[in-house]
Structure 1
């Protein structure tokens, strides 16, 4: 049983502010420790249930957040950026399940520090007419590879997005969002215990066949809405994109992998317009 981890920071228990998530934040180093502790809890739970290989992709910001010296010795770490597949670097059809640790809600939704890939660029992202965030987008790509999403941890809105899209996924709510910068959190020890138990449950459900990949339809229609028209001005140079209003570009991809790459390209182009 091979398990792939994509690990973000905004959904980690105790994380509620940009001081936790930015590289130069005064509380960033504390948040990094909480992050690796939750990862280790999930690794331990997966191993107890019989997982044989675990690959962890650091998927937040600089992607140099997880402390290698504190990571569980049985896990392999993908660290650094830029990565060709960003939050999904290293994922392939060879894995049996995907775990999303520390995930957050989408742009425009309730939830702690909610955004979609770039809070400075993306107002909304629709895939085949449905607004999705990182749980939905990354999960669809994982399922395109034939790898089901088996576990997600984060606040109730991040977990809810995954539960709506991916049947059988184990959701671990590590904090209850009260506002964008406010949450009610259990103790870190309790959060780690819940994650460990959830990881064991997820591996067992994968083994029994109760969690299966979903069929991802094709073609894929993307609608990416930017925060201002200047971002769309630049992003529309992507071949195949269509400007449908001052803020929104449309792109039709032949499959989910092409859609993911087009989304990331448009976000990068939009970001480059920021002055």
Structure 2
């Protein structure tokens, strides 16, 4: 039975699962109505470290019985197949998405996105293998505890995901993160196995923001330690020192966030950086 599987796998799950995967599982189980809003917030806010979050998550779901446990196991298979296998969990019957149609990559990107490889007329090359290895990171903060709800952000997220998918990118997506969780998501993304073969990456962050920072969902004015993510950390995580797999590859960073003293949506900055 699924709840017994979780009980048996509990110790190793707590030790092995990463915080970004925990956040994704919380979102999945909330969408499935396994967890309610209060339970999700309690797991995230009352547990400072990933181990405690993992322990609270698996215990909460396991106590809800076989059906809830089955859903968590199936979501874990989608989110972290390697961990699912390591825990020796069974495979249920999750709905299988329709496989995408094969896309033929262009011979070049058509625009000069990155460093010129041979001479001033060169265009950054795209191969079939590199096209298939494209990967993008999409982070969208919509609901905040102390700031206004970002009306329409769900549609922005949906449209951006469709655009990136159309361009051939596998999209790693997160929604409603604390500042520290955004940093963790960038760290995990910098270790993505596809980066060594990709021809480019795209990182999109949409949220409220201040000058030079992105607001986490618990950002509050006048906090001594505000819940925020420094934008410069993107370059730290994806730079050649921290992520040699992306050396000399185009990186497109898109940030949609308000800045300055006003956190309303009227001051929106969309920043595109290629380096």
Please state which band the TM-score falls in when normalised by the shorter chain: 0.3 to 0.5
Structure with the larger RCO, 1 or 2 (CA within 8 Å, 6+ apart): 1
Larger Rg: 2
Bigger strand share = 1
With structure 1 as the length reference, what TM-score do the two structures score? 0.33
Q: Per residue, is there more helix in 1 or in 2?
A: 2
TM-score (norm 2): 0.33
